[in-house]
Amino acid sequence: MLARAKATADPEAARLDQLVGWLVEFHRREEKPMWWRKFERSEMTIEERYDDRDCLAALTRTETPASRIKRSLGLEYRYDAAQETKLRPGDKCWAAGTELRAEIVRMDEDAGLVELKAGKPLPDRLCLIPDEFVSAGVIKDAVARYARAWERGEVASQAVDDLLRRRRPRIAGHDGGPLVGATENLVERVCDLAFRLDRSTLCIQGPPGTGKTHNAAAMIVELLRRGYRVGVTAQSHKVIMHAMCAVAKALERSGLAADLCKVGDHDDDPLVKQGIVREIENDDVPGVLDGGACLVGGTAWLFSRDELAGRFDYLFIDEAGQVSLANAVAVGLSTRNLILVGDQMQLSQVTQGHHPGDTGLSCLEYLLAGSATVPQELGVFLGSSRRMHPDICRFVSDAVYDGRLDSIPETGRHRVIRGPDTTLVPAETGIVWVPVEHDGCTQSSDEECDAIVAIVEELLRRNVVDREGVERRMTPEDILIVAPFNLQVRCLRGRLDPRIRIGSVDRFQGQEAPVVIVSLCASTLEEAPRGASFLLSPNRLNVAVSRAEALAIVVGCPDLMDVRCRSVEEMRLVNLLCHLVQYAEEQAEAIA
């Protein structure tokens, strides 16, 4: 196909041939850096692994006796709690320098303790390096099947074909123009659009707090009511179960019953325990589909299977901004209609390899071709936040969503009442910039910790008003603190009430609180680990600020904006922070 792309005179045909040809090799390109990292980390010194955030170095067995975890051993180790690591419970690892594998089952980052599950005894002293390999064989095979059909001039999936060609969705009875009218009931309309979707792809973009899960659940319930076979997939089992939970609640509200099945091991999930969701195996799915209307949840490894080709009427890809285009092609073979639900302006997909052209994009990024918001004729933009006060929403809308996002009127009641002794953060709503001078800080700042501790103490003496207009005393549970680095997270946890939620932005997508405090940590962009692209990422800043219902407080060093930008992209990132600071200062002047 790559040769055919070079030979054709039609630019669009050449682009598509090239795209499909490159997608075939997507997963191989993704795996190559993983193998390089494994071999490199196996050769590292303990000190080098200590500095590698993907590893956990210098573990020493504690005196706690080994326990039994099913048929495996449970072994407790101690490590330096100051060590930065991305490893989390559930992650699988290698004991460096051996062929022994282990899984992290419990981790206390403050105490520096970790419990490992292993099939064989492990050394008393070891370093953990991540076991990142997950065979994508079945997904690769599905992409290759699509590519072979494409090369023969066949359409293996009309929905996938529409996605790759970025076509407007075919909706029976819709002759063009905006998919949702200005006066139409949104939930009813998206349910109707799903029902009328004709072997095509539909996009539902849901910015923070706009109810994308609620709308997706309503669509699925309506399709189940009409007797369709529906699938739901995402990048993780957690996201899939969250979507299925929303469907279960929507079914209960509507008084309907449906067969809900999830592929995977979810014995501990409340939905499975209560019998609301049936836990099944891959091989059970064809029989479930033979029974008629149902909802089946599973990852790309399920929906890429050859025996499921064309078996589903609808497949929902949740958090589609985090699902690769290659995986969307693979799972799209299983269904007549694809519905992409997500927001590419929040946390994006993580890729490992270097990918040519558009093949490294998520399916949602690809479909929108660089647009921050989905065009009205291409999909549905959920434009009303049910979370953010208008003073926060205005900034998020202008900075991220082309000015198309607003708040429902009830959010205007959110506020944190100013008290007689309030001095540090006089604002009751909106975005607040708290400049804190410091020097030489990279992943943690004591000065920012001091400022945040003082702000929290003052906040807890204030009252908060919710969306219903009910006033009450602020509690630690009303505050959420986001920091980009674990070192700062640990510093804050050590000085604040344990009931306050503190963590990186990745942990808080989907959560909310009356007050969100963001700590930027680094003194300058030159000193920031991973640079401006990480610290000032528009996606990460969007997710952090948009967790707030009433107040978003950003704490940072003013020197972050005093930088000589080395690229247009870095200039764009610094400009976003400058925009936030200017917006906050204008609000502060209005209060004064």
Domain co-membership, 191 together with 329: yes
Segment 326-338, tens digit of pLDDT: 999 999 999 999 9
- 121 and 155, same domain (yes or no): no
412 in the same domain as 495 = yes
What is the pLDDT confidence band of residue 349, given thresholds at 50, 70 and 90? confident
Give the model's pLDDT for residue 70. Answer: 87
Tell me the pLDDT tens digit for each residue of 17-68. Answer: 999 999 999 999 999 998 999 999 999 999 999 999 899 999 999 999 999 9
Residue 18 lies in a domain: no
Domain limit, last residue, from 105, 130, 155: 130
- In this structure, the answer to whether residues 185 and 200 fall within a common structural domain is yes
Task: Look at residue 8 and tell me if it is in a domain.
Answer: no
Q: What are phi and psi of 69, to 5 degrees?
A: -120, 95
Contacts of 439 (CB under 8 A, 6+ apart): 523
Domain final residue pick, 65, 98, 130: 130
- Residues spanned by the domain of 569: 390-590
CA nearest neighbour of 550 among 466, 426, 475, 482? 466
Residue 430, SS3 per DSSP: strand
Q: With respect to residue 5, please indicate whether it lies within any of the assigned structural domains.
A: no
Secondary structure of 39-64 in HEC code, one letter for each residue: HHHHCCCHHHHHHCCCCEEEEEECCC
| pLDDT average, residue stretch 468-494 | 95
What rounded mean pLDDT belongs to the chain?
94
Asked if 109 and 154 sit in the same domain, the reply is no
103 and 209: one domain?
Answer: no
CA–CA dist 180, 39 (Å, integer)? 53
Same domain, 160 and 228: yes
| pLDDT tens per residue, range 96-151 | 999 999 999 999 998 999 999 999 999 999 999 999 888 999 999 999 999 999 99
CB burial of 541-550 (b: ≥16 within 10 Å; e: otherwise) equals: bbbbbbbbbb
Q: Report how far residue 101's alpha carbon sits from residue 107's, in angstroms, rounded to the nearest whole number.
A: 17
For residues 493-519, average pLDDT:
92
Closest CA to 494 of 82, 37, 43: 82
Whole-number Å distance between alpha carbons of 194 and 315: 11
- Examine the pLDDT at 89 and tell me if it is beyond 90: yes
Same domain, 168 and 214: yes
Bridge partners (DSSP) of residue 295 are 230, 260
Residue 312 lies in a domain: yes
| Residue 344: both structure tokens together | 């590419």
pLDDT by residue (tens digit) across 539-559?
999 999 999 999 999 999 999
- Checking if the pLDDT of 322 tops 90, the result is yes
Q: Which of 66, 98, 130 finishes a domain?
A: 130
Residue 509 clears pLDDT 80, i.e. is over it: no
Handedness of CA 40, 41, 47, 52 (dihedral sign): positive
Residues 200 and 119 in one domain: no
Q: Is 31 helix (H, G, I), strand (E, B) or coil?
A: helix
Asked if residue 557 and residue 471 are part of one domain, the reply reads yes
Short-list 471, 545, 465, 555, CA closest to 512:
545
Asked if residue 319 has pLDDT above 90, the reply is: yes
pLDDT of residue 1 exceeding 90, the answer is no
Say what the pLDDT of residue 351 is.
84
CB-based burial, 162-186: b 16+ in 10 Å, e otherwise:
bbbeeebbbbeebeeeebbeeeeeb
Split at pLDDT 50, 70, 90, the class of 320 is very high
CATH number of the domain within which 64 lies:
2.40.30.270
In a domain, 547, yes or no: yes
19 contacts 150 by C-beta, under 8 angstroms: no
Residues 518, 429 share a domain: yes
d(CA 251, CA 294): 12
Tell me whether residue 21 is in a domain.
no
Both 126 and 146 in a single domain?
no
